[in-house]
């Protein structure tokens, strides 16, 4: 009976030692990721914050920043048509003088690509940038037109224009 207890104790010590080692490696990986160490490894795909729960969504995979502006993929999540959609982007350094884009109509559930042209053309290639973005639009609900505004932030790496 003593041999069985020693085998069980050895197995537990083995699992605990490797368990702690895996936990430490996992924590170090998460800390490095949060510090942005891995951000330069990927492409220039953009991300957006502040638009997830709104009527107008911005599809992150469709976001691209160039030295002269941003290309965005908008989606209508309102369930009703949107009209008079106007985007205004401003940011320190990138698009500092402002940038605008508009589209007349987005049907319910549709996706539309728009380009926000910056007035200052200050984008630096391979530099990560964040641009506050305001989207104003008109939504038709039960025959009544309602003016709405959504705000958020677009973050992307500036890529060369093709």
pLDDT tens by residue, 113-150: 887 777 666 667 777 777 777 888 888 888 888 888 88
Within 10 angstroms of residue 81's Cβ, the number of other Cβ atoms is 14
Confidence of residue 50 (pLDDT cuts 50, 70, 90): low
Region 73-98: mean pLDDT is 74
pLDDT at 41 over 50: no
Residue percentage of the chain with pLDDT more than 90: 5
Q: Which residues have a Cβ under 8 Å from the Cβ of 90 and sit 6 or more positions away?
A: 96, 97, 98, 99, 131, 132
State how far the Cα of 80 lies from the Cα of 68, in Å rounded to an integer: 32
């Amino acid at each position: 009976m003593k041999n069985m207890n020693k085998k069980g104790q050895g197995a537990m010590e083995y699992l605990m030692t490797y368990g702690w080692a895996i936990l430490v490696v996992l924590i170090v990986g998460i800390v490095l990721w949060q510090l942005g160490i891995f951000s330069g490894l990927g492409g220039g795909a953009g991300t957006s914050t502040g638009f997830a729960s709104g009527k107008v969504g911005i599809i992150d995979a469709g976001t691209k920043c160039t030295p002269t502006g941003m290309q965005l993929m908008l989606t209508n999540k309102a369930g009703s048509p949107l009209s008079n959609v106007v985007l205004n982007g401003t940011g320190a350094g990138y698009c500092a003088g402002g940038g605008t884009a508009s589209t007349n109509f987005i049907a319910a559930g549709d996706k539309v690509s728009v380009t926000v042209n910056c007035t200052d053309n200050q984008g630096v290639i391979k530099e990560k940038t964040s641009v506050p973005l305001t989207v104003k639009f008109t939504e038709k609900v039960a025959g009544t037109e309602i003016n709405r505004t959504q705000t958020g932030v677009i973050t992307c790496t500036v890529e060369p224009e093709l």
